[in-house]
Amino acid sequence: MDFIYKRYRQETQSALKAQPAGEKKPLSHYEATEQKRKENNQPEEEMLLQNSYGAVNLGRFRGEQAVLVVSGISEHEQKKTRETDLLCETGAKKLRGLQGRAFTNHHDPLVSAMGLKVFPVHTAEKLVKDLQTLEERGESHVLKEMLPFLSVKEERERILSLLETRRAQRERDPELEKELDELRINRQHKEQERRRLVKSLRESLEREGKQKEKKKGWEIPAFSEKEEENVNTEGEESEDTQKNTEDF
């Protein structure tokens, strides 16, 4: 049973909370290159979610390119450091896959804050799916600690294994049933938290989209109820996205 997630689930300070929008300011937990700072082209913060572990925030550069940042504490070190709390664009290291859109600080990617490049074609569901891919590959301890609800793979596999064991038993096993109940509660909580993250990202993307909908290349995606519930579906990258994955 995932006792680590049970602890996360039961901690009142672990839930991500949206911070009220104030005046426009540079994206927190992110340091643009010196050249961009000189050009006053630092990303402006559009969304900030925080809990006792760290933050998830979204910022936009001039134009349509944005960046999603996950920062906080390392799963192993259990404390914040400059490496885990601040993502530096200078010298950033690209992670494999996702068309080179994911990146971390260069020193130690596993215990680093991480970022994900965002383009107009990316929906909230797609961004969360990308984060799930990185988490399941073990690319970031900070991501695992901050957003442990991204994947229900472990719960699904363990539940199937326990159900098979139960079918082979002649008598009911109270301990097995207790573990099944806990796993189902964990899975339900993860799905709920994941939907909340998708909702926050969608609201932020649509808010910016409405301001730019008359400009070429930005369209506000329509979402059905089915799409909102099924946030595990991964879309295909378009040619435009692949062309736009050059370094910031």
* Digit-coded pLDDT (tens) for 48-62: 999 888 999 999 988
Residue 174 resides in a domain: yes
Residue 244 resides in a domain: no
DSSP class of residue 221?
P
**Do 217 and 64 touch, CB atoms closer than 8 A?**
yes
Residue 150 resides in a domain: yes
Average pLDDT across the chain, whole number = 82
Q: With residue 87 as reference, give the H or E element that holds it.
A: strand 87-88
**Do 64 and 130 touch, CB atoms closer than 8 A?**
no
Determine the pLDDT at residue 31: 94
Number of domains in the chain: 1
Give Cα 243 to chain centroid, integer Å.
23
- Residue 172, both tokens: 């009911």
| pLDDT interval class at 199 (50, 70, 90) | very high
Q: Is 223 exposed, middle or buried (CB count within 10 Å of its CB: 0-12, 13-18, 19+)?
A: middle
Residue 107 resides in a domain: yes
- For 180, the domain range is 3-236
**Do 193 and 146 touch, CB atoms closer than 8 A?**
no
Give the tens place of pLDDT for each residue, 150-172. 999 999 999 999 999 999 998 89
- Residue 202, both tokens: 């969608």
Q: Which residues contact 31 (CB under 8 A, 6 or more apart)?
A: 86, 87, 88, 89, 90
Determine the pLDDT at residue 67: 96
**Do 205 and 59 touch, CB atoms closer than 8 A?**
no
Determine the pLDDT at residue 213: 60
Residue 245 resides in a domain: no
Determine the pLDDT at residue 19: 82
Report, as an integer, the average pLDDT of 5-16: 82
Judged against a pLDDT cut of 90, whether residue 14 lies above it is answered with no
Report, as an integer, the average pLDDT of 214-220: 47
Give the tens place of pLDDT for each residue, 68-111. 999 987 655 566 788 999 999 999 999 998 999 999 999 888 88
Determine the pLDDT at residue 64: 80
What is the C-alpha end-to-end distance of the chain, expressed in Å?
Answer: 41
Q: Is 148 exposed, middle or buried (CB count within 10 Å of its CB: 0-12, 13-18, 19+)?
A: buried
Residue 246 resides in a domain: no
Give the tens place of pLDDT for each residue, 28-41. 999 999 998 898 88
pTM: 0.80
Residue 232 resides in a domain: yes
Judged against a pLDDT cut of 50, whether residue 6 lies above it is answered with yes
Q: Which of 52, 248, 18 is nearest to 145 (CA)?
A: 52
Judged against a pLDDT cut of 50, whether residue 119 lies above it is answered with yes
Report, as an integer, the average pLDDT of 184-202: 94
Judged against a pLDDT cut of 90, whether residue 235 lies above it is answered with no
**Do 85 and 77 touch, CB atoms closer than 8 A?**
no
Judged against a pLDDT cut of 70, whether residue 241 lies above it is answered with no
**Do 105 and 93 touch, CB atoms closer than 8 A?**
yes
| pLDDT interval class at 219 (50, 70, 90) | very low
Residue 242 resides in a domain: no
| pLDDT interval class at 217 (50, 70, 90) | low
